[in-house]
Structure formats: structure tokens, C-alpha cells
């Protein structure tokens, strides 16, 4: 599976391209249309596939928070066990538990904060999105890639199609 992404200049063009892709046999669930909130609020994209999990950065931030929180928690656990607070007798299990708690807290806070931002995977398109352009993402089988690229070029010969790997998240979408 390969994810192709390209910028479409306006909603009408997006509609045509998405219709072409659907005609080519790509299921709707493999197409994502990402736009800035301004464009979305003008309701010009009604009826098109939505941005799905690419809409915000929750999952990526959650994974980062989990890792950093876990590391910080482990260090805190080691610290507490090495220099125990007065009156507390802590065993090795405390390191593990404090590590897990740190991991959970880090993931939670980072995830909630990340949900307020655009997907960090799409940061290179941020400027174009703000200018009103629309980003279309298509998941295609590796073998069909050239055929689909030709199809997109037919509608707009100047379009630049980039390939990014589909997300390999911990939790399937």
C-alpha cells in the first residue's frame, strides 16, 4: 500500500479528481480530503470523503507522550527508590508502576494537546492549505501506483504527486 498525496487548487477540481478516483475502483475509505478549517467552514467540500484520522495530531502526539512520559516516569521511579521519602519502603515494583503511570500521563496530556493541531505528518502542506488549496490523499496498491498517477495527471498535468508511507500506528484506525 502506498499513500499518494497531491494538492488540488479548488473544490471543483477536487470533486472531479475524487470522482475519477472512485470511477477507477478506489474505495471511498482509501481517499482522504484535507483542507484548512476556513475552507471546511465554507461547506464547499460537502459530500467528499473527510480527513479521517489525518484531521489532527492526536495519535502521533499520544505515541510520543507515551514514550517520553515512560522514560521520565522510569527515572522518577528510580529516583524515588534510591532516595525514598521518609517513612516509605518501596520495592522494585514501584519503578515499574511509576514508569507506567508516567507513560500514561504523558500520553494523555500530549494526546489531548496534539488533538488541537493539524497532523504533523502533513506539516509540509500547511502553507498551501492555508492558501485555500485542498490536499487529497489516496491509498493505492503499489502495483496500481502509475496508473493512478496518470489518472491524476490527466485532470491537472502540472500537479506534483508525492508518496508518503501510510501511518503504521499502534492502534489500527
Partner 1 sequence: MREDKATLRNLLIIGGTVLLMLLIFLIMARGIG
- Using CB under 8 A as the criterion, which residues of the chain lie in contact with partner 1 when the complex forms? 29, 49-53, 55, 58-59, 62, 88, 90, 93-94, 97-98, 100-101, 104-105, 107-108, 111-112, 115, 171, 173
Q: CA end-to-end span of the chain, whole Å?
A: 15
What ranges make up the beta strands (E) of the chain? 2-8, 31-34, 134-140, 162-164
Closest to partner 1 by CB, 11 vs 107, is 107
In the complex, minimum distance from the CB of residue 155 to partner 1, in angstroms, rounded to a whole number: 24
Nearest distance from residue 61's CB to partner 1, in Å?
10
CB of 114 to partner 1, least distance (A): 10
CA-based diameter of the chain, in Å?
A: 75
d(CA 150, CA 7): 15
At 39, which helix (H) or strand (E)?
Answer: helix 37-41
30 or 145, CB closer to partner 1? 30
Query: Between residues 11 and 69, which has the closer beta carbon with respect to partner 1?
Result: 69
Residue 41 or residue 158: which is nearer to partner 1 going by CB?
41
Other C-beta atoms closer than 10 Å to the C-beta of 34 total 24
| CB closer to partner 1 out of 13 and 30 | 30
* Rounded distance between C-alpha atoms, residue 72 and residue 13, angstroms: 48
Beta carbons within 8 Å of 155's beta carbon, 6+ residues apart: 13, 16, 17, 20
C-alpha cell of residue 161: 504527486
Smallest gap, in angstroms, from Cβ of residue 82 to partner 1?
A: 17
Q: How far is the CB of 115 from partner 1 (least distance, A)?
A: 6
Amino acid at each position: 500500500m502506498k499513500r499518494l498525496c497531491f494538492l488540488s487548487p479548488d473544490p471543483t477540481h477536487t470533486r472531479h479528481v475524487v470522482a475519477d478516483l472512485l470511477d477507477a475502483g478506489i474505495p471511498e475509505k482509501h481517499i482522504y480530503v484535507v483542507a484548512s478549517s476556513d475552507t471546511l467552514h465554507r461547506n464547499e467540500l460537502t459530500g467528499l470523503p473527510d480527513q479521517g484520522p489525518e484531521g489532527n495530531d492526536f495519535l502521533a502526539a499520544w505515541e510520543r507522550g507515551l514514550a517520553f512520559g515512560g522514560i521520565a516516569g522510569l527515572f522518577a521511579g528510580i529516583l524515588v527508590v534510591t532516595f525514598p521519602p521518609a517513612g516509605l519502603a518501596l520495592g522494585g515494583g514501584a519503578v515499574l508502576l511509576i514508569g507506567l503511570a508516567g507513560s500514561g500521563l504523558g500520553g494523555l496530556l500530549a494526546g489531548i494537546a496534539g488533538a488541537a493541531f493539524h497532523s504533523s505528518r502533513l506539516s509540509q502542506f500547511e502553507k498551501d492549505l492555508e492558501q485555500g488549496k485542498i490536499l487529497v490523499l489516496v491509498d493505492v496498491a503499489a502495483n496500481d501506483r502509475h496508473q493512478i498517477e496518470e489518472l491524476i495527471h490527466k485532470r491537472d498535468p502540472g500537479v506534483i504527486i508525492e508518496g508518503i508511507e501510510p501511518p503504521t500506528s499502534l492502534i489500527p484506525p
